[in-house]
């Protein structure tokens, strides 16, 4: 049986990126990881970036500046590690 960490390492995503997808889609992290991996493998990087940007907007609207700042770092890392997301 694979561990969560092993699945994460194979997903092409960071734990924070998976958490952002889980937050946006209201699903467990393991489901978000599968969704994110599918998107990464099928040219869906722009959608993942949009998901994280939506999470930033939501955090800002709620006045959660700390969470918004964390998510900004997440999207910066995502774009740096998935260049097709920045297009």
Number of neighbours of residue 3 by Cβ within 10 angstroms: 8
Which pLDDT tens digit goes with each residue over 10-53? 999 999 999 999 999 999 999 999 999 999 999 899 999 999 99
Model's pTM, two decimal places?
0.91
How much is the pLDDT for 87?
A: 62
- What does the alpha-carbon distance between residue 13 and residue 36 come to, in Å, rounded to a whole number? 7
- CA–centroid distance for 47 within its chain: 10
- Give the residue carrying structure tokens 């049986």: 1
How much is the pLDDT for 85?
A: 81
Low-confidence winner among 13-22, 31-40, 64-73, 76-85 (lowest mean pLDDT): 76-85
């Amino acid at each position: 049986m694979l561990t969560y960490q092993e699945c994460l390492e194979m997903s092409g995503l960071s734990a924070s990126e998976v958490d952002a997808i889980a937050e946006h889609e209201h699903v467990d992290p393991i489901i978000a990881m599968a969704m994110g991996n599918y998107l990464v493998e099928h040219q869906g990087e722009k959608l993942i970036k949009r998901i994280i940007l939506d999470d930033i907007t939501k955090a800002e609207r709620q006045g959660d500046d700390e969470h918004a700042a964390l998510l900004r770092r997440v999207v910066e890392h995502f774009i740096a590690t998935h260049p097709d997301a920045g297009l």
